[in-house]
């Protein structure tokens, strides 16, 4: 087995920065941390991804986007392989990804408040005004991986990307 050199693998990683999550369109698959590995062997590129949830409906679209981008970029054969272990965790979201979530109006995962989720007011920082005077409205937001919160200071509702 001849795996191509590191600069070639890095070129694939750079291309993957242009594939965005259809449910959170400000996060690239790299920012989200679902790309686990890139391998090149001859004309074959293999991208190994881990879904955020085992039944995440966006994974089919993401796999198709990865495949199309790499084929359009000149790779002859593209394999997108899904692995479930180890399970994806919000720890894999990059700092750039968390910053992009905040700018988009979604509160990124905040581990210190995870156990108190919905038990009391406060803890989840509002991405709009930065207040911690927030309250949970629904355990599920626009997607299963988010909860719906509302800020008591600016009154804006916002999604919170749940930890897992």
pLDDT digits (tens, 9 = 90+) for 34-86: 999 999 988 899 999 999 887 888 899 999 999 999 999 999 999 999 999 99
Alpha carbon distances (Å) from 115 to 73, 118, 132, 163 = 44, 9, 16, 10
- Distance between start and end Cα atoms, the chain: 36
Residue pLDDT, tens place only, 116-148: 445 445 578 999 999 989 998 998 888 888 899
Q: Which residue ranges make up each domain of the chain?
A: 6-91, 105-161
pLDDT of residue 140: 84
Token pair of 56, please? 């995440």
Q: Is 153 helix (H, G, I), strand (E, B) or coil?
A: coil
- Model confidence band, residue 4 (pLDDT cutoffs 50, 70, 90): very low
Contact between 90 and 164 under an 8 Å Cβ cutoff? The reply is yes
For domain 6-91, the CATH architecture is 2-Layer Sandwich (3.30)
pLDDT of residue 73: 92
Token pair of 9, please? 């693998």
Q: Can you give the pTM of this predicted structure?
A: 0.80
């Amino acid at each position: 087995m001849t795996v191509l050199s590191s600069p070639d693998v890095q070129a694939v990683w750079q291309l993957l920065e242009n594939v965005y999550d259809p449910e959170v369109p400000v996060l690239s698959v790299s920012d989200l941390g679902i790309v686990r590995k890139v391998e090149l062997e001859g004309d074959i590129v293999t991208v190994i991804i881990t879904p955020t949830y085992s039944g995440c409906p966006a994974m089919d679209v993401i796999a198709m986007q990865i495949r199309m981008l790499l084929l359009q970029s000149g790779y002859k054969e593209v394999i997108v392989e899904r692995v479930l272990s180890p399970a994806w965790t919000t720890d894999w979201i990059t700092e750039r990804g968390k910053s992009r979530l905040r700018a988009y109006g979604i509160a990124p995962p905040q581990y210190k408040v995870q156990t108190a989720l919905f038990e009391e007011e406060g803890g989840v920082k509002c991405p709009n005004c930065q207040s911690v005077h927030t309250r949970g409205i629904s355990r599920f937001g626009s997607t299963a991986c988010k909860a719906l919160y509302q800020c008591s200071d600016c009154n804006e509702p916002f999604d919170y990307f749940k930890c897992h």
